[in-house]
A and B are shown apart, each in its own frame.
Chain A
Amino acid sequence: MSGKLTLISSATASGSASVSFTSGIDSTYDEYQLWFVDMHPATNGANLTVDFSISGTFGSTTKTTTFFMAYQNEPGTDAGVTYVSSRDLAQSTSAQEIAFNIGNVADQCASGGLSLFSPSSTSKVKHFYSRVQGYHKQEGANGEYTEDVYAAGYCNTTSAIDGVKFVFSSGNIDTGNIYLYGVS
């Protein structure tokens, strides 16, 4: 489904509060892809979130989204695929979770990708979807989990989206690499 990718910019997080791409998202491409590798939170059980800016301002873009996931714990006693209504958004300006409860044990991390479509449109909403595989923190006697998270939705605005920001819900991004591509 994807065409030729052109790297626009990249960021390496190291004890960073957030990673933002505030340039390079414009009308040049109809689709942008963000790939993130080995996102490791400083705080145990933090949620990886994404937000989108209008005119450089984050936290004010209304979104309606879906969130579902497959999960299984390492002991193999708890597994399933389910919609998670507590992690979707309904006309909210909150950041959208794209992975949750990621562990901060030394080997734990999350990786995945997000596509954003036609962010510069001034007539349509802006669709996005992501898939992230995460190493979920220890949940008591249930142990640690693998999670396969799918978040999707639209920025419900006809204003151009000009930036994307990734933040953990608590604490810093201890390590991680994020790459912004344009798709032609």
Chain B
Amino acid sequence: MSDWKLLNTSTASGASSVEFTDLTGYKIFKFVFIDVNPATDSTNFQMEGSTGSFGVTKTTTAFSAYHYESDSGAALGYEAGHDLAQSTSPQPLSGSVGNGADECAAGELHLFNPSSTTYVKNFYSKLNLYGSDNHTGNWFIAGYFNTTSAVSAVRFSMSSGNMDAVIKQYGLVAS
């Protein structure tokens, strides 16, 4: 039961999405996103869950801090355009990621007890991105899949176009 156990590694190259279809066996899952580089400029990295089909109702929050390389702007604020209120839409985990050769996003998502058939499924994430307009963005997303059905799979994609990325799935606390 000790330590995060690496369960899967998915290396996406020009992929439309990456799915992890086994969310059993652990109480806590962590997904680590490395070098998420979209094919389409200024697109959001996003997440969806499945209870047999994708499109699970979610209520979430989103806030971020940003700072431009030019030092022309920096702030912390709520991101009303990136949260969800009882919506089945995919959840953005970031703002707009640049598609330049060196631009990408990285971070992690924690998902708690997706197999529960009693409670909603809590999750939270933290990512940092390199925006196409040369800013750093630090994004904080959290919420719950508002269902008592087991969430059996998660899918990661860009809001438009394909992506390159390495995504790792870890488990903690064998159940």
Contact = CB atoms under 8 A, between A and B. Distances in A.
A40 B120 CA distance: 11
**Residue among B140, B142, B143 having the largest count of chain A Cβ atoms under 10 Å:** B142
B127 to A, nearest CB: 14
A62 interface: no
Interface string A131-155: 1011100000000111110000000
Contacts of A147: 61
Interface residues of A, number: 41
A112 B3 contact: no
A35 B172 contact: yes
Interface in B1-28: 1-4, 27-28
B143 A79 contact: no
B74 interface: no
Contacts of A35: 28, 172-173
A108 interface: yes
Given A76-B86, A79-B78, A133-B142, A110 B61 contact: no
Interface stretch (B34-42, B44-52, B111-119): B111-119
A109 interface: yes
B124 A134 contact: no
Interface of B: 1-4, 27-28, 59-63, 76-78, 80, 83, 85-86, 110, 112-113, 116, 118-120, 122-124, 140, 142-144, 146, 148, 172-173
Interface of A: 4-7, 10, 35, 37-38, 40, 70-77, 79-81, 106-113, 131, 133-135, 144-148, 175, 177, 179, 181
